[in-house]
């Protein structure tokens, strides 16, 4: 079994892995090893992975950079993308290693905010990082949290202390580039204190045509009355496999908004596990997936209402073409005593061809009184009547199709609070529907 291969790989190279990692990361590797050997990788027999058997993704003989060999990535050469009219604090991960760059703007961080390499900052602030690292990620079940925790050596960390409002968004660009097929394990740790505010934009890109398997675990702690906006955009290649797990804990009065955008990919599995642990916490969880060819996009969400007076809203939309496959499974759990919960979960999907397939499973599990909860899903095709109406008014068929698809996904994009990012996403999505990528001057990624 492949998990045994990874266990043996770690045992044989443990000294090497730990020699280039800080104590906080190393402290939980033994637990991760035990969990990996006990629970293994999920297969299609596990309900959460019914339509995405990631165990098969983990079988190939991937290269893994355990010794932190420097794989040159020239940021100035390969990456020139930006969001017009949006000034951000920009940071980079090259494969699974934080990459210092003259474009990173550490000097512009507000007092008390720390951001940068997870390995470096966890070594510099072990009490702070140790308080949160691996505190949310669930290794005690089939998944990739245990494998990621076992092998991870770096990533990104940002800490926003009480009362600090980040005026500028933080942008984390992850680039996959290697001379060989590569598996990467990256970790992201986000902590916002009481009354703090943060806007975080994640951009996931692959630079070349090698095969990649990216495992990503992100832990997000939202303090009391904090406001967090998280945008996660994937623009990779058909050669890319991505397994991402997001864990969120929301304290009282916190407001968290998460928007995921899969614009181009190979095979993707995104999971979001959110715990509303404080009264009056509010969650918005949205997603758009656009797939064609043999692309595969699977989103799973689990929202746990543990206390009274919280609300959650989910909206996921897919547009599938050719032989692509989409899957959505969303579960809302309202625990006993979580009275006054308000929750809405919606999944709407368009299959442009009969060969495209969509699997959807929204769920509600309620053990409390006085709640307002609803869920629903639809799968259909473009409205033939609307298409005919537009063509009768002189709009070419292809343009009419793009307009209808844009109108379909714009309900999600419209929730993006930052106007420049909202306009940029509309541009990228329109280019995607027209069969191309957005062109950025001098950027190798977009060629």
Residue 95 pLDDT > 90: yes
pLDDT tens sequence across 249-259:
999 999 999 99
Mean pLDDT within 54-69: 89
What pLDDT is attached to residue 1?
Answer: 65
Strand pairing category for 170-176 and 89-94? parallel
Residue 447: its pLDDT value, please?
44
pLDDT score of 64 more than 50? yes
What pLDDT sits at residue 101?
63
Residue range 122-148, pLDDT digits in tens:
999 999 999 999 999 999 999 999 999
pLDDT at 439: 46
pLDDT, tens digit (0-9, with 9 covering 90-100), for 179-198: 999 999 999 999 999 999 99
Averaged pLDDT for residues 227-233: 97
User: Domain limits of the chain?
Assistant: 2-278, 382-447
The confidence band for 262, taking pLDDT boundaries of 50, 70 and 90, is very high
For 312-344, the pLDDT digits (tens) are 999 999 999 999 999 999 999 999 999 999 999
pLDDT bucket at 379, cuts 50 / 70 / 90: very high
3-state secondary structure of 136: coil
Buried/exposed 161-174: b ≥16 CB within 10 Å, e otherwise? beebebeebbbbbb
The predicted structure's pLDDT at residue 443:
52
**What mean pLDDT do residues 220-231 have?**
98
For strand 255-264 and strand 282-291, is the pairing parallel, antiparallel, or unpaired?
parallel
Confidence of residue 104 (pLDDT cuts 50, 70, 90): low
pLDDT at 89 > cutoff 50: yes
* Strand ranges inside 340-381, DSSP E: 342-351, 357-366, 372-380
Residue-wise DSSP of 158-219: EEE-TT-B--SPEEEEEEE--SS-EEEEEEEEEEE-TT-EEEEEEEEEE-SSS-EEEEEEEE
Give the H/E segment covering residue 433.
helix 419-433
Q: Which long-range contacts (CB under 8 A, 24 or more apart) does 92-95 make?
A: 92/172, 92/173, 92/174, 92/175, 93/154, 93/155, 93/156, 93/172, 93/173, 93/174, 93/175, 93/186, 94/175, 94/177, 95/65, 95/71, 95/175, 95/176, 95/177, 95/178, 95/182, 95/184, 95/186
pTM for this predicted structure: 0.95
d(CA 345, CA 343): 7
Per-residue tokens: 319: 């547009």
| Whether residue 444 has pLDDT greater than 70 | no
* Mean pLDDT score of the chain: 92
Mean pLDDT of 355-366: 96
Concatenated DSSP letters of 65-118: -TT-------HHHH-----TT---EEEEEETTEE---TT--GGGSPTT-EEEEH
């Amino acid at each position: 079994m492949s998990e045994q291969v990874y266990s043996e790989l770690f045992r044989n190279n443990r000294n090497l892995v730990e020699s280039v990692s800080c104590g906080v990361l190393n402290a939980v590797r033994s637990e991760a090893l035990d969990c990996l050997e006990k629970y293994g990788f999920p297969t299609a027999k596990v309900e959460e992975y019914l339509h995405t058997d990631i165990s098969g993704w983990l079988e190939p003989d991937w290269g893994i950079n355990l010794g932190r060999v420097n794989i040159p990535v020239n940021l100035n050469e390969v990456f020139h993308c930006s969001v017009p009219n949006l000034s951000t604090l920009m940071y980079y991960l090259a494969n699974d290693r934080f990459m210092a760059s003259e474009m990173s703007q550490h000097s512009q961080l507000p007092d008390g905010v720390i951001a940068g390499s997870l390995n470096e900052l966890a070594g510099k602030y072990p009490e702070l990082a140790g308080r949160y690292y691996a505190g949310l990620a669930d290794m005690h079940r089939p998944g990739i949290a245990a494998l990621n925790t076992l092998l991870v050596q770096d990533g990104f960390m940002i800490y926003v202390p009480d009362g600090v409002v980040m005026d500028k968004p933080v942008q984390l660009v992850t680039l996959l580039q290697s001379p060989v097929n590569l598996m990467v394990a990256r970790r992201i740790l986000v902590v916002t204190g009481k009354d703090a505010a943060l806007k975080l934009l994640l951009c996931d890109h692959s630079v070349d045509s090698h095969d990649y398997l990216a495992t990503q675990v992100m832990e997000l702690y939202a303090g009391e009355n904090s406001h967090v906006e998280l945008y996660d955009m994937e623009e990779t290649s058909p050669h890319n496999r991505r397994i991402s797990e997001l864990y969120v804990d929301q304290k009282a009065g916190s407001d968290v908004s998460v928007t995921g955008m899969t614009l181009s990919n190979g095979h993707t599995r995104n999971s979001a596990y959110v715990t509303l642990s404080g009264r009056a916490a509010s969650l918005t969880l949205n997603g758009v997936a656009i797939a064609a060819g043999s692309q595969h996009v699977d989103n799973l969400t689990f929202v746990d209402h543990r206390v009274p007076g919280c609300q959650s809203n989910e909206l996921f939309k897919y547009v599938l073409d050719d032989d692509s496959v989409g899957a959505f499974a969303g579960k809302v759990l309202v625990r006993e005593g979580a009275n006054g919960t308000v929750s809405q979960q919606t999944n709407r999907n368009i299959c442009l061809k009969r060969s495209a397939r969509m699997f959807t499973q929204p769920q509600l599990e309620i053990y409390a009184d006085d709640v307002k909860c609803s869920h629903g899903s639809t799968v259909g095709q473009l409205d033939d009547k609307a298409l005919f109406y537009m063509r009768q008014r002189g709009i070419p068929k292809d343009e009419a199709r793009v307009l209808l698809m844009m109108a379909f996904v714009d309900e999600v994009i419209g929730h993006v609070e930052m106007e420049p990012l909202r306009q940029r996403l509309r541009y990228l999505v329109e280019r995607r529907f027209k069969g191309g990528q957005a062109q950025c001057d001098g950027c190798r990624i977009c060629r």
